[in-house]
């Protein structure tokens, strides 16, 4: 069985391995010992904190195989972004150049540097090892976050975003960044990506063009990847779109990958979730449909995917003893859960 729990300091080696495997373009996990250890320490402090409003908390979770005790994936949530460090995006908009006298009317796409997402929550740092990409593991590693946020709404903003990895080749070269590098930065994409990942963002403000960029002036290769995702990121984007996330024209400043957003209350897994006390019955639980389930703790948080039988009249959720053990819940304690297969809404 796979469970999801808060990261702890003893998980450093596993997180470092995941950072190496994730490769260039996975900005939130640079291969840097000091930064990774600080991320773990920050997460541990966040899980232990008492919160009444979203702040600088950073929640990092790991997926663990209960049989081997191996960490096979990671997933995170930032309570807010842009409050301590500037959070940059390009917004894709349009301007009109028109002359009534000459009967000319041209609509032109432009990219404008902005900080519009300051203060929103972000789901991030999702990576599952190749060997664990089976069954419901990938969906669990993404969707449990919506249950955690729904259960602990005081810790998060109403708007939730996800930055999707943009197009780059096997060497980590981005067609979009290549154009910016040539005209403004003199800095290759892997280096720029790494510097951002370790929190060094001053160079962005210093070197990024201050005025809107006319898309038509970019190379054809750069234009073609604006708002597009990396081939390996397509399944993740599709999953979020099914949850109700959509793009409003914001793209990453390095690889032009899209940022998608949703209101927490409208995310399908969160919206469909129920909170009930548990009854433990191995025989009855076998009749249940698979659900994504969390306990209602923060510091001792657990999540898993398992069958649940819902007794609506008595408002009880029936689970097996192994599921209860995985979640660290006892008879009569509460869980929040959502069906793995969501009906059309």
pLDDT above 80 for 23: no
Quickly state the pLDDT bin for 30 (edges 50, 70, 90): confident
Quickly state the pLDDT bin for 27 (edges 50, 70, 90): low
pLDDT above 60 for 25: no
Q: In this predicted structure, what is the pLDDT of residue 344?
A: 60
Q: What distances in angstroms separate CA 315 from CA 294, 297, 320, one per listed residue?
A: 17, 20, 17
**pTM for the full model?**
0.91
Average confidence (pLDDT) over 207-213:
83
Quickly state the pLDDT bin for 198 (edges 50, 70, 90): low
pLDDT above 80 for 294: yes
Q: How many Å apart are CA 334 and CA 345, to the nearest integer?
A: 26
Quickly state the pLDDT bin for 13 (edges 50, 70, 90): very high
Name the residue ranges covered by the structural domains of the chain.
2-88+116-268, 272-339
Q: Which fold would CATH assign to domain 2-88+116-268?
A: Aminopeptidase (3.40.630)
Average confidence (pLDDT) over 1-16:
96
Cα end-to-end span (Å), the chain: 30
Q: How many Å apart are CA 253 and CA 88, to the nearest integer?
A: 7
Instruction: Lowest mean pLDDT of 122-136, 149-163, 263-277, name the range.
Output: 122-136
Q: SS3 sequence, the chain?
A: CEEEEECCHHHHHHHHHHHHHHCCCCCCCCCCHHHHHHHHHHHHHHHHCCCCCCCCCEEEEEEEECCCCCEEEEEEEECCCCCCCCCCEEEEEEEEEEECCCCEEEEEEEEEEECCCCCCEEEEEEEECHHHCCCCHHHHHHHHHHHHHHHCHHHCCCEEEEECCCCCCCCCCCHHHHHHHHHHHCCCHHHHHHHHHCCCCHHHHHHCCCCCEEHHHCCHHHHHCCCCCCHHHHHHHHHHHHHCCEEEEEECCCCCCEEEEEEHHHCHHHHCCEEEEEEECHHHHCCCEEEEEEECCCCCCCEEEEEEEEECCCCEEEECHHHHHHHCCCCCCEEEEEECCCCCC
Q: How many Å apart are CA 109 and CA 223, to the nearest integer?
A: 10
> With the C-alpha atoms ordered 28, 159, 128, 89, is the resulting torsion angle positive or negative?
negative
Average confidence (pLDDT) over 164-184:
85
State the catalytic residue, choosing from 16, 89, 105, 230.
Answer: 230
pLDDT tens digits, one per residue of 110-142: 999 999 999 999 999 999 998 899 999 999 999
Q: Establish whether 291 is a catalytic residue.
A: no
pLDDT tens digits, one per residue of 226-266: 999 998 889 899 999 999 999 999 999 888 999 999 999 99
Q: Which fold would CATH assign to domain 272-339?
A: Barwin-like endoglucanases (2.40.40)
Q: How many Å apart are CA 91 and CA 226, to the nearest integer?
A: 11
Q: How many Å apart are CA 300 and CA 294, to the nearest integer?
A: 11
Q: In this predicted structure, what is the pLDDT of residue 100?
A: 86
Residue bearing the bigger pLDDT, 184 or 294: 294
């Amino acid at each position: 069985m796979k469970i999801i729990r808060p990261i702890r300091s003893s998980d450093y080696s596993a997180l470092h391995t995941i950072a190496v495997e994730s490769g260039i373009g996975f900005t939130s996990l640079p291969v840097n010992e000091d930064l990774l250890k600080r991320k773990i320490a920050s997460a541990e402090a966040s899980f232990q904190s008492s919160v009444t409003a979203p702040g600088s908390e950073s929640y990092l979770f790991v997926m663990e195989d209960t049989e081997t005790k191996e960490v096979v994936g990671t997933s995170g949530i930032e309570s807010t972004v842009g409050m301590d460090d500037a959070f940059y995006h390009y917004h894709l908009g349009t301007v009109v150049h028109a002359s009534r006298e000459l009967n000319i009317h041209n609509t032109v796409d432009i990219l404008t540097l902005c900080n519009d997402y300051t203060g929103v929550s972000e789901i991030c740092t999702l990576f599952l090892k190749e060997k664990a990409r089976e069954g419901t593991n990938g969906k669990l590693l993404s969707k449990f976050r919506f249950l955690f946020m729904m259960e602990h709404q005081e810790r998060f903003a109403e708007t939730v975003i996800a930055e999707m990895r943009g197009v780059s080749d096997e060497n980590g070269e981005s067609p979009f960044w290549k154009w910016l590098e040539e005209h403004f930065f003199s800095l290759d994409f892997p280096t720029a990506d790494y510097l951002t990942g370790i929190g060094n963002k001053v160079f962005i403000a210093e070197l990024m063009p201050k005025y809107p960029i006319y898309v038509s002036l970019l190379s054809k290769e750069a234009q073609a990847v604006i708002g597009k995702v990396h081939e390996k990121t397509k399944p993740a984007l599709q999953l979020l779109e099914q949850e109700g996330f959509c793009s409003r024209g914001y793209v990453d400043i390095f690889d032009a990958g899209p940022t998608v957003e949703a209101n927490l209350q409208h995310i399908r897994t969160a919206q469909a979730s129920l909170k009930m006390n548990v009854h433990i019955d191995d025989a009855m639980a076998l009749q249940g449909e698979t659900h994504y389930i969390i306990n209602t703790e923060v510091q001792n948080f657990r999540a898993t995917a398992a069958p649940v039988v819902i007794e609506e009249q008595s408002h009880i959720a029936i689970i097996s003893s192994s599921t209860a053990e995985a979640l660290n819940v006892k008879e009569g304690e509460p869980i929040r859960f959502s069906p793995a297969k969501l009906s059309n809404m």
